[in-house]
Amino acid sequence: MSRQDKALKFKRELNTLRKMTLVGIGAKIDLTENDVIMINEDDIQHGQSGDKWQSGMWYNVGTIVLFNNKNYETIQSHLSLWNPDTVPTLFKVIAQPGITLDWKQPTGMHDAYNVDDIVKYNNKTWKSTVNGNMYPPGAVPGQWVEVKKPENDDSQ
């Protein structure tokens, strides 16, 4: 089998897998003569902010969903087939009022910390002073300031 034939076979198998996935979520699809999957957008349900995350929903940038008791913001529009906590390029955890999240190494600018983002790191609370902050608190002078907790504050 030639390299080109192998590539065409792989493309057809991949489209078959995609077709099975999309049919499984209830989308009506058609394959064109060029093996391109065509999806009627009217057949895809759009997720709404405040809803629980569901597989098979279309999420636009900025949509906030609840998954495993955490709020996630959609950072890239997509048809959701993966849990928000497994794909950091599609969703990012956002803090709920009164809750400070632990610092987590960003994987790119899509989940970097921005001005006024607050995190916990090494048993201290920190606030970012710059946008696109990829470094842990204390690593680069001036990018984070320690936030002192008021003495009468018993929050987590």
pLDDT in tens, 12-37: 776 665 555 555 445 555 555 455 54
Contact in structure between 31 and 12 (CB atoms under 8 Å): no
The domain 45-94 is placed in CATH, from the list 2.10.10.20, 2.60.120.10, 1.10.3720.10, 3.90.1150.200, at 2.10.10.20
Strand partners, 83: none
- Domain ranges in the chain with CATH number 2.10.10.20: 45-94, 95-156
Q: Quick check: pTM over 0.85?
A: no
Which phi and psi (to 5°) does residue 44 adopt? -105, 130
Fold of 95-156: Seminal Fluid Protein  PDC-109 (Domain B) (2.10.10)
pLDDT in tens, 128-141: 999 999 999 999 99
The pLDDT averaged over each successive group of 10 residues in the chain (156 residues) is: 76 63 51 51 63 84 86 86 86 76 85 86 92 93 86 49
